[in-house]
Every structure is written in structure tokens, then in C-alpha cells.
Structure 1
Amino acid sequence: MTLPILLRVSNFRAYVWDVDDINTLRSHHHICGILTGTLPHLSSQNVFLGLPLQLMPEEVVLLVENGIAVLVDDPSAHHSPSSSVLKLWQEERLSDAKQQIALTEEKESIEASNANRAMSESAQRKRKEREERRARATVNAAPNFPTDDIPSPPPISENPSQLAVEESPDRAVVMPSAPYTVHVPASSSRLAWYAPQSHLHSSIEAGIWKYPSTLQERARCGVFRSLWEQGFYMGVGIRFGGEYLVYPGDPLRYHSHFVASVIDAPGAALRPMEIVAHGRLGTGTKKAHLLCEWNDETKVVSYFSVEWAGFG
């Protein structure tokens, strides 16, 4: 069973600190978020940012309601374990580490045996070739001597250790064993006495989350979910005069096709100048503008596309 992604809450904002979780959110759930952390030794901090990943409130609500993630308030999520539970946890960690060490040593022993066998065969072959070259050189240097008087080379030793001494009598090469890594779980978020808030309602009651609490926020969540269920990726759209930028795929590969504005009720007022501004701005940035109307009673979103066109 896949464990839910942990969303760390601070000041009513949700962050993701695990790189694997960020990859999962982006590749499997088309949730992008915004990197807000600094990177060491990098001057262009306004261009390249690092962990943590901050999520929009709408993304948080969607992930928690779908059971993909849970909200975490670290100060109140840790509980003091009993001595028996702590002792059992320590024994399991030690047993797991010993098992990993045994498996690693067995693997290294097999690899070392294979390597020694390959080296001994190679050394025997090289020694034989060298003796043959030496014999041919002796024959060429003394052509008048009968070949029967040439002493034969000593037999090749079958003992790999003796062979190694004969090959290099003046030095001994000791190959140190390669270091290996034992994986010991150290994350406090996977312990039995660690209890994050798992539901949106309980998180709101605990006072660590408060979104959505108004009609406008419910409308934003409804529109976001509707677009997300259609397979779109969403980003912040304030630079283009809307709530969201709507991408047909991963923003690293595609340009946004729409700028979405949220209208929180069917009877909400919309001035003609807003429609003109949205149409002209969308055309200037090669996008269509989506007016997304939310009906809080039926939980249905109606879409209207605005594109600028010539007259006459």
C-alpha cells in the first residue's frame, strides 16, 4: 500500500519537502506547485529555486480530499511512545541492519572470488606469453646452439597466491574491501507514534487549516478540480489577469493554452470592460481566456471562452 504524501503546514501554507514526493505529484497527479527555497552557492535565486515546494490551497484541498496526501502539523503530530514500543522499534532497526550487512558481505564475497579467479587466469596467460617470448629471444641470440640445450621454462604454478608472489616479488598489493551502505529508516514521519491530520475537516477543527471558508474559495476549489479532472495542469495566473494558467500537459514541455478566471456565482456581475481586457490580453499573449462560472448549489462549472477578433 502506498503511503500518503505528507504536506507540512506552516502559517496555513502547505509545503512538500521530499524530492520523491514532488516527482510523484508532478508525474502521476499533474500537481506542480512552486519551489520557494534557496539553493546554496547559486546567485540567481530569483530564477532557480529549491525545496520546499509550496502548493496552492486548491491543490492541497484536492490532494487531501482524494486521499493522495495528508496534512501534517509537526509540533502536535508527535506522541511519546511507551518503553515497550520504543524497545521493539529499536530491535527491528537493529535486526534489519544486521540482515543488510550479512547480505552485503555475502555478495562481496562472491564478487571477490570471481575477481580473483579472473585475475589468476589472466596472470597465468601473461606469464606463459612472457616465457615464450624469452625462449624465442634466446634462440635468436644464439642460433649456433642446439635447441635441445635450451633449458625449458619452469612450470606455471597452479597456486594463485604463489603466482602472485612470483609475478611481483618486490611488492604486495592489498585490495581493500569496498565500503557499503546500510539503509536505516530515520524519518520520524514513518513511526507508529507519529499521527498527522488525515482529513480536511479534522485539520480545520485542529486549527492548522482553514481553506475553503468562503464562497469565493469554494468556487476556486470547484473550478480547479473540474479542470484537473479533465487532465489539465494548473499554475498561478495572476501575471495574465486570471486565477490559473491552464496547460495541456507538463508546463516544462507545453505553453499554457488558457487563462482561467473564477466567477463565484451565476448571478455575479461582470463588466464589459473586463471582457474586453481579458480578450485583448489573452490575444496578446497567444492564449484564450476562460470565464469559469461556479454554481455552489449544483457544484457544476460553466465555461465561456473569450478570444479577440477583428471587426468589419
Structure 2
Amino acid sequence: MTIKVSVIGGTALVFDPSDCVILRKEHGITGVLTGTLPSAPQQSLLLGVPLRLSVEEVLYLYEHKAVEFVSPLGPGTSLESRNDSFFQTPDAAESAPMPDQELVLTKYVCGQKRDLDELYRTYCIFKTVKEKGHFTLPGLRFGGKFVSYPGDPLRYHSHFIINTKDFYSDRLDLVQLVKGGRLATGTKKMWLLAGEKGPGTRKKLALQVLNRETRTVCFSVEWAGFG
């Protein structure tokens, strides 16, 4: 079963609660709930649909043929009245023309304003962690790119803080190494430094980030006698 995703304002959103359940149970993807009630728009403790997906999560689902891009606008709705489209769900847009899937993905990826090489690196790391059975969430609050959980985040604490690195062209910052290791150990986690093993053919087309050979290598750092 494919997950219906609407791309609105450069953000990939899932509106159907049943799709959110399938994402979590069958694909190990949690996303981030962003919806709130019109009567209480500033509360942020109990958020609901739509579920926001990261670009890495979208690429993973697309590569596994588990995502279907749908129009966020219902039949007869024009772009000029897009304010009303927030209240449209994918079900309401079923009779609208189906957008070209590769075109939507290409525009979505290019609209992230991220270097494709860097995006490819983070996606390969995301996919490598996913293939180990882990869940990943944004790691900003822990100073990383991702945080990794050995199972559903509702049941487990995170085990890894993941940072990305281009091992071929970037130097290893020892200060960053010390800070990352101490931070992870102090929060009862392990710091994982992950990146590409060596140079590869640089592909600049959005869809080709899915076709480049995965060459990811990881190093774990633990600060002994601290925390």
C-alpha cells in the first residue's frame, strides 16, 4: 500500500491518520506531527496531522515504491485559493489529475536548497541506519543530524547521536570529536560519525541520489570515564 503525500510549500505532508500508522508500523518512519487546532494554534504539546516527512524519509519511501504524490488541491480548486487547500485531504483530491511522480520528487528535492552531494551522504546514512532496523528522528536538540532508536521511539530511548562527514574531502576536527563524544556520553548515548568511504562520481540530478552506490562508513565515539 502506498502512502499519499502532498508537497505544500516545499514540505512533504501526510494527512491521512491511517497512512501515519502504516508509516510507523510497516516502514519504521515516524515523521514529525505538525498539526494543531484552529482554536489553539500556539499549543505545541499535543500535535496531530499533518505529519511532516524529511527529505530523507521521502527518498527512502520513493526508492521502496511506497509513496504516491497527490495534489493538495481538491477538484475545482485553483492555485489562487490555496488558503483553503490546508483543509483539503488527499481523499478529497482523488478525482484531481495525478501529478507526474518523478517531476514532483525532482522539484521537491531541488527545493530543499541543499547541496545534492551532502543530501546524498545524509540519505545513505539514513538508509544504512534504517536497514539495521533502527528508527531515526531529527537530532538538532542533541547537536547531531539524526538520533537513532533501536525500535519505536515510544518504547525506546535513543542510542546514537549521528553526525555526517565527508571523509574524503573534509578534515576531522578534533575539537568536534571531543565535544561530540562528551555530549553523547553525558546523555547516555554514543556519538556516531558517518560518511562516505571515498570519492565517487558526483551526480547532480535530483533522482540520481537514489542510484549512486552506497559507500557509507561509520565510527562510534565513547568518552571513557565521563558522564
Tell me whether the two structures share a fold, i.e. TM-score over 0.5: yes
Change (3 A) 1:43 1:209: closer
Give the structure-1-normalised TM-score: 0.58
Aligned residue for 2:101, secondary structure, equals: coil
Distance in 1 of aligned mates of 2:72 and 2:50: 15
Instruction: Kindly report the root-mean-square deviation, in angstroms, between the aligned alpha carbons of the 2 structures.
Output: 2.7
The alpha-carbon deviation at position 247 of structure 1 amounts to 0.2
Distance in 2 of aligned mates of 1:218 and 1:271: 22
Superposition pairs for residues 76-155 of structure 1, below 5 Å?
none
Say which of 118, 126, 134 aligns to 1:216. Answer: 118
Distance in 1 of aligned mates of 2:120 and 2:14: 23
Distance in 2 of aligned mates of 1:266 and 1:259: 21
> Given that residues 64 and 198 in structure 1 are in contact (C-alpha distance below 8 angstroms), is that contact kept between their aligned partners in structure 2?
no
> Given that residues 8 and 72 in structure 2 are in contact (C-alpha distance below 8 angstroms), is that contact kept between their aligned partners in structure 1?
no
Paired-residue identity, %: 36
User: 1:29 maps to which residue?
Assistant: 27
Change (3 A) 1:78 1:41: closer
Stretch of structure 1 that moved more, 265-274 or 230-239: 265-274
Change (3 A) 1:252 1:41: farther
> Given that residues 260 and 289 in structure 1 are in contact (C-alpha distance below 8 angstroms), is that contact kept between their aligned partners in structure 2?
yes
1:194 counterpart = 2:97: yes
Structure number with higher strand proportion: 2
Distance in 1 of aligned mates of 2:157 and 2:178: 23
The alpha-carbon deviation at position 64 of structure 1 amounts to 1.2
Q: Structure 2: where are the runs of 5+ without partners?
A: 77-89, 201-212
Please identify the structure whose Cα radius of gyration is greater: 1
Aligned residue for 1:36, secondary structure, equals: strand
The alpha-carbon deviation at position 214 of structure 1 amounts to 2.0
> Given that residues 148 and 160 in structure 2 are in contact (C-alpha distance below 8 angstroms), is that contact kept between their aligned partners in structure 1?
yes
Say which of 48, 52, 59 aligns to 1:50. Answer: 48
Aligned residue for 1:187, secondary structure, equals: helix
Distance in 2 of aligned mates of 1:20 and 1:46: 22
Give the structure-2-normalised TM-score: 0.78
C-alpha deviations, 1:142-175, integer Å up to 9, x for none? Answer: xxxxxxxxxxxxxxxxxxxxxxxxxxxxxxxxxx
Distance in 2 of aligned mates of 1:203 and 1:265: 32
User: 1:203 maps to which residue?
Assistant: 104
Structure number with higher helix proportion: 1
1:308 counterpart = 2:220: no
Aligned residue for 1:308, secondary structure, equals: coil
Change (3 A) 1:300 1:250: same
